[in-house]
Amino acid sequence: MQVPRTVRVGLIDDSMLIRTVLKDKLEQDGKIKVVALGKSLDDAKRIAQKGGFDILILDVVLPDGKGTELAKELGKAKEFPIILMSSLDKRELRDALELVLEHPLIEFVAKAPQAGQGFDSVVRDIRTKALAFMAFRALARKSFQKEARQARSMQREATKPTIASLTNKIVIIGSSTGGPKAIFTILSQLRPPFPPIIIIQHMPVGFTQSFAERLNQKLPIRIKEARDEETIRSNTVYIAPSGYHLLIRKNSSGGFGKYIFKLDDSPPRNFVRPSVDVTLESAAPLFRQGLLAVILTGMGKDGQKGCKKVKEFGGKVIAEDRSTAIIYGMPKAVADAGLADCVVPLHEMIETINLLLAQPYPESEN
């Protein structure tokens, strides 16, 4: 990833200690420069109006109001990316998730309780998102310009798979930065019948349950966080819980349902847990031709090795096109490796998924 110049950041947090430590750590290698500091909502408004920065880092809760209210207002203008810092408070999470689902250039990170142990991981998360947003900002703006022209395309009636065509099939979607909005776009067009859909979205620990709950509240389909030993069922969307790899295994208990989830706390792959690679590699030999992998926006290469395994067992792979991927990293790695059967923009994703699911794949041999 090439960042053409120093990324200029505006930083708003009511804790002087957090501001000081975060500024020092972000500026360590010279790629990021904090050019504006503030401690209140009024400061944030003043800094936003003045400009002169590329990305705004904004605490969700400030002494004189909610950072989410300002982020919502600024997000409509799509002038610059915003990284929200949120605790695990349910109300904070709900407000932050609402914005992330609506605005592709708004992301969030888990706010460290103090500038001590665990703070370095928060800094790494902020740095990753900030540098990624900057490197691909031109593409992000291009995709926004296309949204209005493509609105009708998103409403097209796609070919619907039948219950019979869904036997022994599963869809696994992987995404990272920019993913929540993309996932919401796809799921908002999804209607039964559909096979189990597993979503691996890179998120801070503690955020995925609220993400699943918010999606379930907003959409007319069943969406939930996956649980250990849970039976995998059709017409359900499962969100992989943050902090664990999500494996798919045969159900050896003899109970209802052929497959179950297993949560695994082995070391991160590609610096993340859950890893898309891990889930795809566990599912490929079980579902074979019935596995459909979808790789959406995100930084890095998570999903590339997993998609190679999918192809080895006869499954299909879809990668998001550069024109709509906020961060063209994960889908690019898959496409460049020649692993994608289809490379399509986000507004054509659900139609492509349905077309592939409608094809009569041979039944699994396992």
Beta carbons within 8 Å of 49's beta carbon, 6+ residues apart: none
The mean pLDDT of 322-335, rounded to a whole number, is 93
**pLDDT tens, residue by residue, 165-192:** 788 899 999 999 889 999 999 999 999 9
DSSP code, position 34: E
The mean pLDDT of 155-164, rounded to a whole number, is 62
Q: Is the pLDDT of residue 144 over 70?
A: no
Beta carbons within 8 Å of 187's beta carbon, 6+ residues apart: 215, 219, 221, 223, 237
> Which tokens belong to 225?
């966080």
Q: Is the pLDDT of residue 150 over 50?
A: no
Distance from C-alpha of 120 to C-alpha of 142, rounded to nearest angstrom: 33
* Distance linking the first and last C-alpha atoms of the chain: 41
Distance from C-alpha of 247 to C-alpha of 280, rounded to nearest angstrom: 8
What is the number of other CB atoms lying within 10 angstroms of the CB of residue 206?
15
R_g (Cα) of the chain, nearest Å? 20
Q: Find the largest Cα–Cα distance for the chain.
A: 64
Q: Which residue has the higher pLDDT, 328 or 132?
A: 328
Is residue 155 within 8 A of residue 303, CB to CB? The reply is no
Q: Is the pLDDT of residue 137 over 80?
A: no
Distance from C-alpha of 245 to C-alpha of 266, rounded to nearest angstrom: 7
Residue 156: pLDDT band by 50, 70, 90 thresholds? very low
Question: What integer pLDDT is reported at residue 208 of this predicted model?
Answer: 94
Helix (H) or strand (E) holding 73: helix 67-77
How far apart, in Å, are the Cα atoms of 73 and each of 79, 103, 218, 228, 351? 11, 11, 21, 40, 32
Question: What integer pLDDT is reported at residue 114 of this predicted model?
Answer: 55
Distance from C-alpha of 66 to C-alpha of 95, rounded to nearest angstrom: 9
Question: What integer pLDDT is reported at residue 141 of this predicted model?
Answer: 44
3-state secondary structure of 161: coil
Nearest by Cα to 144 from 293, 323, 265, 264: 323
Q: Is the pLDDT of residue 265 over 90?
A: yes
The mean pLDDT of 114-124, rounded to a whole number, is 70
Is residue 19 within 8 A of residue 65, CB to CB? The reply is no
Residues 208, 57, 301: CA angle, nearest 5 degrees: 55
Question: What integer pLDDT is reported at residue 159 of this predicted model?
Answer: 62
Reading phi first (left if > 0) and then psi (alpha if -120 to 50, else beta), residue 271 is in: left
Distance from C-alpha of 41 to C-alpha of 286, rounded to nearest angstrom: 52
> Which tokens belong to 80?
């610059």
Q: Is the pLDDT of residue 164 over 90?
A: no
Question: What integer pLDDT is reported at residue 112 of this predicted model?
Answer: 64
Nearest by Cα to 185 from 336, 72, 344: 344
Question: What integer pLDDT is reported at residue 148 of this predicted model?
Answer: 36
Question: What integer pLDDT is reported at residue 206 of this predicted model?
Answer: 83
**pLDDT tens, residue by residue, 25-58:** 999 989 999 999 999 999 999 999 999 999 999 9
Question: What integer pLDDT is reported at residue 155 of this predicted model?
Answer: 41
Catalytic residues: 176, 202, 302
3-state secondary structure of 53: coil
Domains delineated in the chain = 7-135 (3.40.50.2300), 153-357 (3.40.50.180)
Nearest by Cα to 298 from 182, 184, 208: 182
Question: What integer pLDDT is reported at residue 94 of this predicted model?
Answer: 84
**pLDDT tens, residue by residue, 197-252:** 999 999 988 899 999 999 999 999 999 999 999 999 999 999 999 999 999 999 87
Residues 215, 106, 85: CA angle, nearest 5 degrees: 90
Is residue 326 within 8 A of residue 143, CB to CB? The reply is yes
How far apart, in Å, are the Cα atoms of 258 and each of 46, 167, 231, 348? 57, 12, 8, 31
How far apart, in Å, are the Cα atoms of 262 and each of 10, 148, 170, 252, 365? 41, 42, 16, 12, 21
Beta carbons within 8 Å of 4's beta carbon, 6+ residues apart: none
Residues 240, 242, 109: CA angle, nearest 5 degrees: 125
The mean pLDDT of 324-346, rounded to a whole number, is 95
Question: What integer pLDDT is reported at residue 142 of this predicted model?
Answer: 44
What is the percent of the chain where pLDDT is above 90? 60
